């Protein structure tokens, strides 16, 4: 009897040891939280959803998906095709024609820089509530990536590298659209300007260097900053240089203007924010774009019809010298 008890105790100890070992290994597998270390003048990014905390493993997976042409029907288009990091996550086209059909889209491609801060909704009309919901529209749109979302998880499941990456990021190697979207959201939350030490990006402007006491503005730039505070600051508020709210702005929709600045008139079917709210008061309201890297993210407005910042300085009774100073300051952003 004592021997039986001894053997039982030995086996119990062995099993408990194995369970403890597995438990410890599981804890070791806990994903590492991605840290956003930003200058004191920058607000912390909004808190991510509880079901999708940003982790290093999730960001690695999200980045791979962002640049992978397998996410498009014809295997030639990735998210980065239109949101090109080398072009500050835009495409510098008035309205992109880089999608599956080559047709021009209805709206200009907005930069993804600081998209994590856009809590009032994504897209220029706020039609998408959060980054986790964002990928479905461009992936599925026939003139963009034209992907059949029912097929996408199976296509990635066949890829040798993806099941392990999903396992690392989410603890599950069964790929679903929800997990694809979460990974892409995590990567996009890291696209922040100014860049931080943990970031792969190198977004640092002269304005940031001035805030960090690394340099100073010229006399002309100081003058431009004062003019900016008078004419622009109410909507393009530092340090994000956007209020991410929706404001009315349109060109003459009845007369087609052919100048160096204005390429085409507004599409008569364009509703702006009204498309979402169904409120006539929101007709042709669009989200305030960030002015960070504004000299690099041309052309401008929802339809890309303005390719020159000079257009926005007209009608403000500014002298030519004041316009030059304001443009010099904008170039610092």
Query: Which range, 20-24, 213-217, 308-312, has the best average confidence (pLDDT)?
Result: 213-217
- Distance in angstroms (rounded) separating the CA atoms of residues 112 and 188: 7
Calculate mean pLDDT across residues 130-146. 95
Both tokens of 211, joined, read: 């805030």
When mean pLDDT is compared across 19-23, 36-40, 100-104, 210-214, the lowest value belongs to 19-23
**Average per-residue pLDDT in the chain?**
87
What long-range pairs does 78-81 form, CB within 8 A, spacing at least 24?
Answer: 79/135, 79/138, 79/184
**Residue 244: closest CA among 99, 143, 123, 70:** 123
Q: Is the pLDDT of residue 102 over 60?
A: yes
Question: Which pLDDT value is given to residue 25?
Answer: 39
pLDDT-based confidence at residue 251 (cuts at 50, 70, 90): low
Mean pLDDT of 281-298: 95
Are the C-beta atoms of 120 and 246 separated by less than 8 Å? yes
Count CB neighbours of 130 within 10 A. Answer: 16
State the pLDDT confidence band at 266, using cuts at 50, 70 and 90.
low
Please check the confidence at residue 297 and state whether its pLDDT lies above 90. yes
Tokens of 72: 């498009």
Sequence-separated (6 or more) residues with CB below 8 Å from residue 273 = 125, 126, 246, 279, 282, 283, 284, 285, 286
pLDDT for residue 110 is more than 60: yes
- Is the per-residue pLDDT at 122 higher than 70? yes
Q: Is the pLDDT of residue 14 over 60?
A: no
**Complete DSSP assignment for 157-174:** HHSSSHHHHHHHHHS--S
Query: Which pair of tokens denotes residue 196?
Result: 């931080």
Helices 56-66 and 177-189, interaxial angle, to 10°?
A: 100
pLDDT single digits (tens) 209-243? 999 999 999 999 999 999 999 999 999 999 999 99
In the three-class reduction of DSSP (H, G, I as helix; E, B as strand; rest coil), residue 248 is classed as strand
> Which CATH architecture group holds 206-332?
Orthogonal Bundle (1.10)
Residue 319 has pLDDT above 80, yes or no: yes
Quick one: pLDDT at residue 29? 54
Residues 6+ apart with CB under 8 A from 207: 238, 332, 333
Looking at the chain, which residues constitute the CATH 1.10.760.10 domain(s)?
56-189, 206-332
Q: Is the pLDDT of residue 255 over 50?
A: no
CATH number of 56-189: 1.10.760.10
């Amino acid at each position: 009897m004592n021997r039986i008890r001894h053997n039982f105790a030995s086996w119990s100890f062995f099993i408990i040891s194995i369970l403890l070992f597995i438990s410890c290994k599981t804890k070791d597998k806990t994903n590492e939280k991605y840290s956003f270390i930003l200058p004191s003048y920058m607000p912390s990014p909004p808190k991510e959803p509880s079901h999708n905390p940003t982790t290093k493993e999730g960001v690695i997976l999200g980045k791979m998906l962002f640049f992978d042409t397998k996410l498009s029907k014809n295997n030639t288009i990735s998210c980065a095709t239109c949101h090109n990091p080398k072009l500050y996550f835009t495409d510098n086209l008035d309205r992109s024609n880089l999608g599956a059909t080559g047709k021009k889209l209805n709206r200009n491609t907005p930069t993804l820089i600081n998209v994590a801060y856009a809590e009032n909704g994504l897209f220029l009309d706020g039609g998408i509530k959060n980054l986790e919901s964002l990928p479905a529209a461009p992936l599925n749109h026939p003139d963009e990536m034209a992907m059949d979302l029912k097929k996408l998880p199976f296509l990635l499941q066949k890829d040798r590298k993806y099941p392990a990456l999903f396992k690392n990021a989410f603890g599950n190697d069964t790929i679903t659209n929800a997990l694809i979207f979460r990974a892409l959201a995590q990567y996009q939350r890291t696209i922040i300007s100014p860049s931080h030490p943990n970031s792969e990006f190198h977004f640092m402007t002269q304005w940031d260097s001035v805030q960090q006491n690394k340099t100073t503005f010229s006399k002309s730039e100081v003058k431009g900053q004062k003019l900016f505070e008078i004419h622009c600051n109410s909507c393009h508020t530092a340090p994000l240089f956007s209020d991410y709210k929706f404001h009315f702005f349109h060109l003459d929709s009845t007369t087609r203007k052919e100048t160096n600045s204005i390429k085409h008139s507004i599409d008569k079917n364009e509703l702006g924010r009204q498309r979402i709210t169904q409120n006539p008061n929101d007709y042709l309201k669009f989200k305030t774009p960030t002015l960070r890297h504004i000299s690099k993210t041309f052309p401008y407005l929802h339809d890309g019809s303005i390719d020159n910042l000079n257009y926005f300085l007209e009608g403000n009774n500014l002298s030519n010298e004041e316009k030059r100073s304001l443009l010099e300051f904008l170039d610092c952003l």
